A = this chain, B = another copy of it.
Amino acid sequence: MAYQPSFTAAMLVIGDEILSGRTKDKNIGPLAEALTAAGIDLKEVRIIGDEPSVIANSVNTLRRSYDFVFTSGGIGPTHDDVTADAVAAAFGLPIGPHPEAYRRLAGHYAARGIAFTEARQRMARTPEGAELIDNPISIAPGFRIDNVFVMAGIPAVFQAMLTAVLSALPTGMAVISVTIPCPFPEGDIGGPLSDIQARYRTVAIGSYPRFDEAAPTTEIVLRSRDEALLEAARIEVEEMIAAMSRGAPLPSLGQ
């Protein structure tokens, strides 16, 4: 196949409250969708707790394995917000108040007559040399250091930061996908579909059972960066379904 440029990414979700089940993550799905639209392949997501050494080790593993790493959580003002320190440790960089972040936060609180406490000042700290990621919702910025993008866990803030980040990133060639509804259950199509997959190595063929009808059916999803190959594979899948329909298959009530 032709050379297909693409970028890879990982996400690191940070927070004890996700692992305890108290809070349900709301950022993985939107990040996955946004990266897919930008032609960036999300290859891995990890969810870990608020432990500095675990965060630092995970950041180091992921930043060396993928083009971009996006983190969520742990950048607020309290003692359990340890992400900035852990990321600085991962890079072996000192951490301190970022002048522009400090200026924005100081101005924000002064204008509202709110004390700029030591806790709030923590939100201005970044590893040395970090670039800020704007936070149009609640001021306290995220930051980028090298290929790691450190963002808030609160979904509205994460989403706003992500929009800002993605508008400035190089995008890859987008993956095109087609979804083909199939009236047969997975157990009927598994053999012939596998044969088609074997002929199209650069088209990822996914098969997803549906149980929302009286009998189980399947959604077949084809994904590729090569439009011509995708179309060829699509025709083969539709021919497979048509042939099976003509063959008056057995009644299908099981997966």
A contact set with B: CB distance below 8 Å: 13, 16-25, 28-36, 41-50, 54, 76-80, 108-109, 112-115, 117-120, 122-123, 138-140, 154, 175, 177, 186-191, 193-194, 197, 204-209, 211, 221, 223, 250-255
A119 and B189: CB pair below 8 A? yes
Closest residue of chain B to A122 (Cβ to Cβ) is B190
B32 and A186: CB pair below 8 A? no
Known: A44-B54, A112-B254, A114-B251. 15 other contacts (CB 8 A): A17-B208, A19-B32, A21-B29, A21-B36, A22-B177, A28-B47, A44-B46, A46-B46, A79-B194, A79-B205, A80-B206, A114-B250, A114-B252, A117-B190, A120-B190
With A76-B209, A194-B78 already in contact, the answer to whether A114 and B16 are too (CB < 8 A) is no
With A79-B190, A188-B119, A189-B119 already in contact, the answer to whether A251 and B20 are too (CB < 8 A) is no
- The quantity of this chain's copies bound in the complex is 2
Q: Roughly how many angstroms separate A77 CA and B80 CA in the complex, as a whole number?
A: 44
Q: Measured between C-beta atoms, what is the minimum distance from A233 to chain B in Å?
A: 13
Chain B residues whose CB sits within 8 angstroms of the CB of A36 once the complex forms:
20-21
Chain B residues whose CB sits within 8 angstroms of the CB of A223 once the complex forms:
16, 20
A190 and B47: CB pair below 8 A? no
Q: Roughly how many angstroms separate A20 CA and B41 CA in the complex, as a whole number?
A: 8
B112 and A253: CB pair below 8 A? yes
Chain B residues whose CB sits within 8 angstroms of the CB of A25 once the complex forms:
28-29
B204 and A118: CB pair below 8 A? no
A-B contact pairs, 13 of them (CB 8 A): A16-B223, A17-B221, A18-B45, A23-B208, A43-B48, A79-B207, A112-B253, A112-B254, A115-B187, A117-B190, A119-B187, A122-B190, A140-B255
Chain B residues whose CB sits within 8 angstroms of the CB of A117 once the complex forms:
187-188, 190-191
A209 and B16: CB pair below 8 A? no
Q: Roughly how many angstroms separate A48 CA and B30 CA in the complex, as a whole number?
A: 16
With A80-B207, A188-B117 already in contact, the answer to whether A43 and B19 are too (CB < 8 A) is yes
A18 and B32: CB pair below 8 A? yes
